[in-house]
């Protein structure tokens, strides 16, 4: 199968490596010329996935036409805030029969659309699938066991994604609950900022576990209001990804939270980094969606107050502990 991976970050590189190892004709588009050059010449992505050898059959390019022409499967692995622009830039090269998979996680600020809806609005003829789950790119590239979920309203499309990407160590499960899978991926980053703030304040692991637990509860509340299935939040794309992001190696979202918990400003915490803190960007969108549905998201609201309303991290977390943990008995 001819596959196009659009996005040369860590996750795009790991997915391209997986496809190439599966003997698929794999082309990778990257924005950065140095990434294109080093993947083609040295079989490595030193900027985003240093030290990991990539499969020699990956053909990297900065030209969307070269990467997209004739592709049967297109994976969009761009950050959420540039996804629409990236899809638009190449859409005339995407054939109507191509199956699309979106690995971007987020909510578009102006429209409050999830990422598959953003793609569908730009590529209305194509079947679109969302892929999510607990999957650090580095571990996937190293061949460590990983399981993710591919969600599509078109069951045949998620089946193709499953068949194309699955290997001995990378397992893809399918579901039709696109909304649940996408919200899991978008909202976990907001909760990860919250657990980062608690870490920066040195509140300990007991409170981190409580925050993760209550965080999943508010994610599921919003999801159900938007038509998602509760079971999705108890699965890999919900609880699985949330636990990984909040307890695994320090993610960008948690790291920003930690800095803020230690007393830095948001601007200071965001400076000097290449990668993206999706949780910072998505906090406002998540709260807008929650307001539209009449759903309470106290942890996301606390993160918003700290990031954008000058509330002190300690006061916000104290309010939260006092308020939110009471909810256990009310459910």
**Does 149 interact with its own copies (rule: CB under 8 A)?**
yes
Q: Is 148 left (phi over 0), alpha (psi -120 to 50) or beta?
A: beta
**Does 142 interact with its own copies (rule: CB under 8 A)?**
yes
Q: Give the active site residue among 21, 105, 153, 188.
A: 188
Q: Identify the residue among 204, 265, 273, 291 touching its own copies (CB under 8 A).
A: 204
**Does 329 interact with its own copies (rule: CB under 8 A)?**
yes
CB of 266 to its own copies, least distance (A): 24
Active site residue 105: no
Would you call 74 helix, strand, or coil by DSSP? strand
Distance CA 107, CA 297 (A): 16
Contact string 275-314 vs its own copies (x = CB under 8 A): ----------------------------------------
CB of 113 to its own copies, least distance (A): 25
Q: Identify the residue among 120, 183, 239, 286 touching its own copies (CB under 8 A).
A: 239
Handedness of CA 241, 246, 249, 254 (dihedral sign): positive
Judged by CB, which is closer to its own copies: 40, or 169? 169
E strand segments, the chain: 2-6, 25-29, 59-61, 73-76, 99-102, 128-132, 146-151, 170-175
Please name the residues in contact with 255: beta carbons below 8 A apart, sequence gap of 6 or more: 196, 269, 277
**Does 207 interact with its own copies (rule: CB under 8 A)?**
yes
> String of b and e for 29-50 (b: at least 16 CB within 10 Å)?
bbeeeebbebbeeebbbebbbe
CB of 140 to its own copies, least distance (A): 7
Footprint of its own copies on residues 157-196 (CB under 8 A)?
A: 171, 173-175
Q: Identify the residue among 59, 89, 209, 288 touching its own copies (CB under 8 A).
A: 209
Contact 28, 58 (CB under 8 A): yes
Footprint of its own copies on residues 4-63 (CB under 8 A)?
A: none
Q: Identify the residue among 37, 65, 205, 291 touching its own copies (CB under 8 A).
A: 205
Pairing of strands 146-151, 128-132: antiparallel
Q: Identify the residue among 140, 222, 276, 287 touching its own copies (CB under 8 A).
A: 140
Judged by CB, which is closer to its own copies: 288, or 295? 295
Footprint of its own copies on residues 118-137 (CB under 8 A)?
A: 133-136
Q: How many CA atoms lie within 13 A of 60 on its CB side?
A: 27
Handedness of CA 39, 2, 10, 143 (dihedral sign): negative
Q: Report the DSSP beta bridge partners of residue 12.
A: none
CB of 6 to its own copies, least distance (A): 23
Contact string 248-277 vs its own copies (x = CB under 8 A): xx----------------------------
CB of 173 to its own copies, least distance (A): 4
Residue 106's closest CA among 142, 132, 72?
132
Please name the residues in contact with 188: beta carbons below 8 A apart, sequence gap of 6 or more: 215, 219, 238, 241, 242, 245, 246
Would you call 21 helix, strand, or coil by DSSP? helix
Distance CA 233, CA 219 (A): 8
Catalytic residues: 188
Q: Which residues bind its own copies (CB under 8 A)?
A: 133-136, 139-140, 142, 144-147, 149, 171, 173-175, 202-210, 212-213, 216-217, 220, 231, 234-236, 239-241, 243-244, 247-249, 321, 325-326, 328-329, 331
């Amino acid at each position: 199968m001819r596959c196009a991976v659009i996005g040369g970050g860590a996750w795009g590189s790991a997915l391209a490596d997986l496809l190439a190892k599966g003997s698929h004709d794999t082309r990778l588009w990257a924005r950065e010329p140095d990434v294109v050059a080093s993947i083609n010449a040295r079989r490595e992505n030193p900027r985003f996935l240093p030290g990991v050898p990539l499969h020699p059959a990956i053909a990297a390019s900065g030209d969307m036409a070269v990467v997209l022409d004739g592709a049967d499967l297109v994976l969009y692995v761009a950050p959420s805030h540039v996804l629409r622009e990236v899809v638009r830039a190449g859409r005339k090269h995407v054939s109507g029969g191509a199956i699309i998979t979106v690995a971007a996680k987020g909510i578009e600020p102006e429209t409050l659309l999830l990422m598959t809806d953003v793609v569908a609005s730009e590529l209305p003829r194509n079947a679109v699938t969302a892929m999510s789950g607990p999957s650090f790119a580095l571990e996937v590239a190293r061949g460590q066991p990983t399981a993710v979920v591919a969600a599509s309203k078109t069951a045949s499309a998620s089946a193709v994604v499953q068949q194309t990407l699955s290997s001995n160590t990378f397992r893809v499960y399918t579901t039709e609950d696109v909304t649940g899978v996408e919200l899991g991926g978008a909202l976990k980053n907001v909760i990860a900022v919250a657990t980062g703030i608690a870490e920066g304040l040195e509140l300990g692991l007991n409170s981190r576990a409580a925050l993760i637990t209550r965080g999943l509860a508010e994610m599921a509340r919003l999801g159900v209001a938007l038509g998602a299935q509760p079971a999705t939040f108890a699965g890999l794309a919900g609880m699985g990804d949330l636990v990984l992001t909040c307890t695994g190696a320090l993610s960008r979202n948690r790291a920003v939270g930690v800095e803020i918990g230690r007393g830095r400003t948001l601007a200071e915490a965001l400076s000097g980094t290449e990668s993206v803190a999706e949780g910072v960007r998505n906090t406002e969108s998540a709260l807008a969606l929650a307001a539209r549905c009449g759903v309470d998201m106290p942890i996301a609201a606390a993160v918003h107050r700290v990031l954008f309303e000058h509330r002190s991290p300690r006061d916000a977390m104290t309010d939260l502990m006092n308020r939110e943990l009471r909810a256990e008995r009310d459910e």
